[in-house]
Chains A and B, each alone.
Chain A
């Protein structure tokens, strides 16, 4: 069974631009969560989607948004990029929300200059 895939793997943007990251979950997994990972803050929860609905949202500004499609694929968007948005963005999928383990993708490394 193929794992979680994320595209692109690497991205360089300039301040003020916007970016869209994509995540394809493991086949059959309907829950997708997004995390931001930085050396200083560790893994921080962005949002979780299940059945095309956002179930939970972390403490991030409104510039961070996401959505999930009917095939469970998910995208996250960051508008008006800031230098501090440079991070590894990880997507994780699970069968359903709750007690199920999460399977992480390789991440998208975003650099904002």
Chain B
């Protein structure tokens, strides 16, 4: 079945270092969304990418959607302890008809 693979599963960084998580789909996606889940919390929507090659920024976070709309990445510059949590990508295939398929997430820990 359709899968959305996300790597790495875990990432430990020193505060101030950069962090990147990657998301890959076996099929073309109509859009991709990113969510963050803090420990003990629930996923919170960060951003949505729709266009091929799209790049969006939110302060220290940079999101990219691949040209083929099969992969995406989230890059955090100069991590802070507040960035701790699990980052999920979620891809949708088939326009508005398909459901969101979540990657298994990348758990980020930041050492002060």
- A-side residues, CB < 8 A to B, are 33, 35, 41-45, 48, 55-56, 58-59, 90, 92, 96-99, 101-107
Contact: B95 with A104, CB < 8 Å?
A: no
Q: Considering the complex, give the chain A residue whose CB is closest to the CB of B96.
A: A98
B102 within 8 A of A: yes
Residues of B within 8 Å of A97, CB to CB, are: 96-97
Contact: B98 with A99, CB < 8 Å?
A: no
Q: A42-B104, A42-B105, A43-B102 are in contact. Are A102 and B95 (CB under 8 A)?
A: no
Residues of B within 8 Å of A58, CB to CB, are: 99
Nearest chain B CB to A106 CB, angstrom units: 5
Taking a contact as CB atoms closer than 8 A, the residue among B88, B95, B102, B105 that contacts A98 in the complex is B95
Chain B, 73-105, CB within 8 A of any chain A CB: 88, 90, 92, 95-105
Taking a contact as CB atoms closer than 8 A, the residue among A33, A41, A103 that contacts B100 in the complex is A33
Contact: B99 with A43, CB < 8 Å?
A: no
Number of interface residues of B (CB under 8 A): 26
Q: Considering the complex, give the chain A residue whose CB is closest to the CB of B99.
A: A56
Alpha-carbon distance A98/B31, docked complex (angstroms):
9
Alpha-carbon distance A33/B92, docked complex (angstroms):
14
Taking a contact as CB atoms closer than 8 A, the residue among A48, A59, A90, A99 that contacts B42 in the complex is A90
Contact: B43 with A90, CB < 8 Å?
A: yes
13 contacts between A and B (CB under 8 A): A33-B100, A41-B104, A42-B104, A48-B99, A56-B98, A58-B99, A59-B1, A92-B43, A98-B92, A98-B97, A99-B92, A104-B42, A105-B42
Alpha-carbon distance A44/B105, docked complex (angstroms):
12
Taking a contact as CB atoms closer than 8 A, the residue among A43, A98, A99 that contacts B43 in the complex is A43
Contact: A99 with B102, CB < 8 Å?
A: no
